[in-house]
Amino acid sequence: MLIKGRGISRGVGKGMLLVSPAPVSFLSGVDPDTGCIVEKGHPLEGTSIAGKVLAFPYGKGSTVGSYVLYALSRNGHAPAAIINAEAETIIATGAIISTIPMIDRIEIPLSRLKNDTPVTVNGDTGELEYDGSLTG
């Protein structure tokens, strides 16, 4: 199934989908040395984002979060791609400087996407290739 959205950061990323119902803060919320979400109480606390296609509503926190995304990329623990409901500057900048493909504003709510579904994000065209069934 091809789901249209808006391209934010160029490139193509493939991987298993990891969906967060909550925003993500990369500054102090994600460990750049391991790629694990460490924010206390976050729905994905303890989960690695490395090599996954990470879908979350939007980013939160300091502008330093862009550099944490860059550190994740340099350390080999970055997500394969990012999908946001609505991109904001911190995450978009981090994705661009880290060459992580990113899209937002897809045609369906993120809550309809299922974890562990193989997907392809095309940041050039703004499209999500979704190889599974939707929830709801």
Q: DSSP letter at 89? A: H
48 carries an active-site annotation: no
> From edge to edge, which strands make up the β-sheet containing 81-84?
2-4, 127-130, 118-122, 12-19, 53-56, 81-84, 102-104, 6-9
User: DSSP character for 36?
Assistant: B
Q: Please pick, among 25, 48, 62, 133, the residue that the annotation labels catalytic.
A: 62
Task: Tell me how far apart the alpha carbons of residues 45 and 128 are, in angstroms, rounded to a whole number.
Answer: 25
- Any idea which residues carry the catalytic annotation? 62
